[in-house]
Chains A and B, each alone.
Chain A
Amino acid sequence: MTTTEISAPIIAVDGVSKRFNAGTDKEVTALENIDLAIRPGEFISLLGPSGCGKSTLLRCLADLAEPTGGTVTLNGKTPRAARQDRDYGMVFQQAGLFDWRSVRRNVELPLQVAGVDRATRREKAEEMLELVRLSEFARHYPWQLSGGMQQRVAIARALSADPSILFMDEPLGALDEMNRERLQGELLRIWSDTQTTVVFVTHSISEAVFLSSRIVVMSARPGRIAASIDVDLPYPRTAKTRTLPEFFDKVTEVRQALYGAPSDQAV
């Protein structure tokens, strides 16, 4: 591979805008003129205040919403073609598992839809459950699992068809602090095991700093990219990483990009 190929973006966003209810008095400009290039293997966090358009941007990438302007390219294809080829997996804030299917059969679902035969998909599902450390729960039903475990199943499900891209919209948002930090660690391990490109939506600064190789900071109304901050803390990151001065420096830098320079005023 040549250098230019390595840095060729796996996800390219060119001048993307999204307006809801255009032409009515309820018109909202959720995204305006977004440019973003994501290279293979990056762990990108989209960070910004509530309502700045993070989910909307992610949904435009995943062909769950259509931009009103600009273009998105995934693996050199339109989002629709990429979706149809199952180039990406998606994890939502709610796990969204199918209640009537066992954990294993939930993980098999993308493969079943793709027409993979029973034996192969079963094997693959068990491999995925191993990845998220839930092998012994394969035969449980989703409602028998805790929220964090359900979210891990959702991650296994999203990865079961071997996508090159993983989209995650606040997947840990509903979890308590301890579970959240534990799953952040797991997520980094899974990311390095699977070599996927991750686009991760969050509004937690420390979560973004801990996980990401790059943080895209967004500002609200209309949603724009305010900054793109490389996080050069070395991987593998561990609980110790959270205690390093470099970690806190990064958190401060991101916070400034979000709110502007610190002052003595109350926030």
Chain B
Amino acid sequence: MTATTTEPRPAGKHASEQAAETSPNRPRRQRPAIGPKLVNSLGAAVVIALLGALWEGYKALGQAWDDKIPGLGWKFPVATDDMSMPHLSAIFHALTEPASRADSTTLFSYLITETSVTLREAAYGLVAGSLLGLVLATVFLYSGPLRKGLMPWLVASQTVPLVAIAPMIVIWGGKSGAPPWVAVTGIAAYLAFFPVTINTLRGLRSPSRVHLEFARSIATNRRQQLFLLRIPSALPFVFAGLRLAATASVVGAIVGELSAGTGRGIGRAILTFAYYYSNGPEKLYAAVLVAAVAGIVFVELLGLLERLALRHRHTA
């Protein structure tokens, strides 16, 4: 999953990209945004086709020019032989072949099975991490000393390299007799809670002065202020955090699998294919492709939830 870098973008107000423009006055229901949606999916398809064409075009040029730019003699940055860059058709074909000599299931269904193992770990980790993040943010909202005291440690926890943390969690998990997937889930949660904490806290503090003063004027108690004003105001921020957490939890689950020696999961599969790269480079590419697509689906499912939760908002 090298494709998903998790640059924490600033905790913006709205994570969703396209705001269906609706005329300010009339409609009772938001107009079903068929038009923009279709345009978006078409755009996505065009981008994918272009990327494919780029891959094949680059490869074809390299093959024709022997990996050198004619006249200048500069070498191509990446070699274009079938070992370095298999044809797209070879990658897709590999998906339909048996995964290994020992069993007859196709590579595709093997990868899907392994990916679903990983995504389940990631999903559990995301849920656990997010719950922790939500609780931490709420506690921090009401306790300045706790926030100031704990925040540096939370930041530190995220800057320690995962490759150092993961084996520790795996060993603790093993000592307590829990099955390996628990440790993997723990690692996913470990990466997921942080963006949720930060974004939720910011969201809980986002109500404007006029909202807070209005709430005071109608004599809301603390609990009402939290549930009627602060949490609804925080939702767009929470979802921005959840998106970051979702990608982080997938990364965590994959890295966790590598440390945990579970023998299952897409991380495991990728490692195996990387090891036997020279026997079939297209298998590694196929595995990465499936992992990437699965990651996108995972995050987009969350986007669906977000759209549902924020459906009445102007910015949603």
Residues of A within 8 A of B (CB): 62-64, 83-86, 88-90, 92-94, 96, 98-100, 102, 109-110, 112-114, 139-141, 143-146, 161
Contacts and interface: CB of A to CB of B under 8 A. Distances in A.
B interface SS class? loop
Contact of B224 (A86, A92, A113, A161): A113
B303 to A, nearest CB: 18
A interface SS class? loop
A100 B218 contact: no
B295 to A, nearest CB: 30
> Most chain-A Cβ atoms within 10 A of its Cβ — which of B216, B219, B228, B314?
B219
B219 A113 contact: yes
Nearest to A158: B217
Given A96-B214, A144-B25, 9 more contacts: A85-B219, A89-B217, A92-B213, A92-B214, A96-B208, A102-B312, A140-B28, A141-B312, A145-B25
A88 B217 contact: yes
B211 interface: yes
Nearest to B27: A144
B24 A143 contact: yes
A139 B256 CA distance: 49
Interface residues of B, number: 25
* CB-CB nearest 5 A-B residue pairs: A96-B210, A143-B314, A90-B217, A110-B218, A100-B232
B219 A144 contact: no
Contacts of A64: 213, 216-217
B217 A144 contact: no
B289 interface: no
Interface in B216-259: 216-220, 224, 228-229, 232, 235
B209 to A, nearest CB: 9
A246 B312 CA distance: 49
Interface of B: 22, 24-28, 208, 210-211, 213-214, 216-220, 224, 228-229, 232, 235, 310, 312-314
Contacts of A109: 218, 228
Contacts of A161: 218
Nearest to B232: A100
A86 B232 CA distance: 23
Contacts of B232: 98, 100
Contacts of B218: 86, 109-110, 113-114, 161
Contact of A84 (B24, B214, B219, B312): B219
Contacts of B213: 64, 90, 92, 96
B42 to A, nearest CB: 29
B19 to A, nearest CB: 11
A100 B224 contact: no
Contact of A98 (B24, B211, B216): B211
B269 to A, nearest CB: 43
A98 B211 CA distance: 8
Given A139-B28, A140-B28, A144-B27, A112 B228 contact: yes
A98 B229 contact: yes
Given A84-B219, A90-B217, A161-B218, A144 B313 contact: no
